[in-house]
Amino acid sequence: MASGSHKLRSLASHHHQFVCSRTHQIGALFLVAATFFFTRLFDHSVVPCSSSVDQVQRSLNLVHGGPYSWPVRGYGSQLSLKIYVYNVEEIDGLNVLMYGREGKITENACLKGQWGTQVKIHKFFLQSRYRTEKKEEADLFFVPSYVKCVRMMGGLNDKEINQTYVKVLSQMPYFRLSGGRNHIFVFPSGAGAHLFKSWATYINRSIILTPEGDRTDKRDISAFNTWKDIIIPGNIDDGMTKTGAPAIPPLPLSKRKYLANYLGRAQGKVGRLQLIQLAKQFPDKLECPDLKFSGTAKLGRKEYFEHLRSAKFCLAPRGESSWTLRFYESYFVECVPVILSDQVELPFQNVIDYSQISIKWPSSRIGAELLQYLESIPDEDIEAIIARGRQVRCLWVYASDLAPCSAMRGIMWELQRKVRQFHQSAETFWLHNGSIVNRNLVEFSKWDLPVPLP
């Protein structure tokens, strides 16, 4: 009997421990849930503006965890950086890089075309909430220049561009302090940083924003470095990027006249010449009109996009360089881009899976085989590719970094990845007390201008 009583007490004790354990588990779960709820409530109460932005971001799947999201690893969980923008008045020569030797070239004149990103990015940095007025607290420094536009409009020649850049850089102690590692330059065309002939001597460690990823000077030298540089989208006509009301709306697939099109000049490039010949063989499938880009027969922007939207697939071969604006434009007429440029680099590749929103075909296989392949793709698959492209094309639009999805917001995330706590150059040294000195042991705050350059 005593033995049975002992067993009952033992079982009761064991049951009591089990009940307590379950009770504790339920209580712990409730505490976690309550903490999460009140934390979220507090977050929403103190940051009402960002909450609506977050909701839009979730709808676009552009927050962490979505199919097109900046991963926490390498980027951080939120944007947190400070950028100093050099003022045109503080650096002698900066105004020349922006407005030409006579100062007659205007911002508005430089806003359009492929070089428009130089102006847009500068203006958005000036308005950015991440801008700082204090050099000493800046993570990064932006050097404004409209030099591509200025050169195209006759405001500077190549020699003047080179001399002016060197003059400008010699007046930037923080550039010398870091060897240029924390300075940002925009070079918006196929020529890339080669617009500055001595780029390899002076800004080879700087961050270059460019749509161009391969060599651009017809020599085996590339100014693009995947470690430090950032590929940016091309500058699309603003009328086409308006939400809900583009200047030329897309057509339903059933109303598109052609299977594919190529709209561009031959420029003596093999791939482009092959497409022109292919269009002559299959005129009912491939549109490749003889476009006039000057004179009385010049094709207007409206007519250009009307041509572009008339096909299911927009072919994007390389020209003088590997990138083409047509790739980005095709998303706004909802035409599936077909990349025919083997060396192309695309923006925000840590976020976007381009195999889901475009096609890349070997440039060595341009011919009837390409058209046969495109013709074999069912319309429902084309619609699915277009739908996925529609979701992320906001990243090609140059709008404020306050916008939940924009090219500037994407650039900011990529810049954050480049931020480092400590910078050095071959001409900076430090002492036991942490002070930074030059080769002559002169403390940084006492460096005289112009600062010696390499």
Rounded to the nearest 5 percent, the helix, strand and coil shares of the chain are 45, 10, 50
* 161 and 61 assigned to the same domain: no
* 71 and 101 assigned to the same domain: no
* 211 and 251 assigned to the same domain: no
Which stretches of the chain score pLDDT less than 70? 1-68, 214-221, 292-297
Residue 14: inside a domain? yes
* 343 and 393 assigned to the same domain: yes
* 20 and 155 assigned to the same domain: no
How big is the chain, counted in residues? 454
Tokens of 111: 């806003």
Tens of pLDDT along 146-168?
Answer: 999 999 999 999 999 999 999 99
* 193 and 252 assigned to the same domain: no
CB–CB of 121/209 below 8 Å? yes
* 368 and 260 assigned to the same domain: yes
Residue with tokens 């080179």: 162
Q: Tell me, what's the pLDDT at 243?
A: 78
Residue 324 to residue 250: CA distance in whole angstroms: 20
Residue 325 to residue 117: CA distance in whole angstroms: 12
CB–CB of 288/343 below 8 Å? no
Tens of pLDDT along 27-40?
Answer: 554 544 544 443 43
- As for how many domains the chain has, the answer is 4
* 392 and 277 assigned to the same domain: yes
* Burial class of residue 394 (count of CB atoms within 10 Å of its CB; 0-12, 13-18, 19+): buried
* 370 and 223 assigned to the same domain: no
pTM: 0.83
Residue 361: inside a domain? yes
Q: Tell me, what's the pLDDT at 259?
A: 98
* 343 and 212 assigned to the same domain: no
DSSP 136: G
Classify 389 as helix, strand or coil: helix
* 283 and 379 assigned to the same domain: yes
Residue 66: inside a domain? yes
* 212 and 260 assigned to the same domain: no
Residue 132: inside a domain? yes
Domain that holds residue 69: 49-76
- What CATH number did the domain enclosing 366 receive? 3.40.50.2000
Of residues 333, 337, 117, the one with CA closest to residue 246: 333
Classify 429 as helix, strand or coil: strand
CB–CB of 202/177 below 8 Å? no
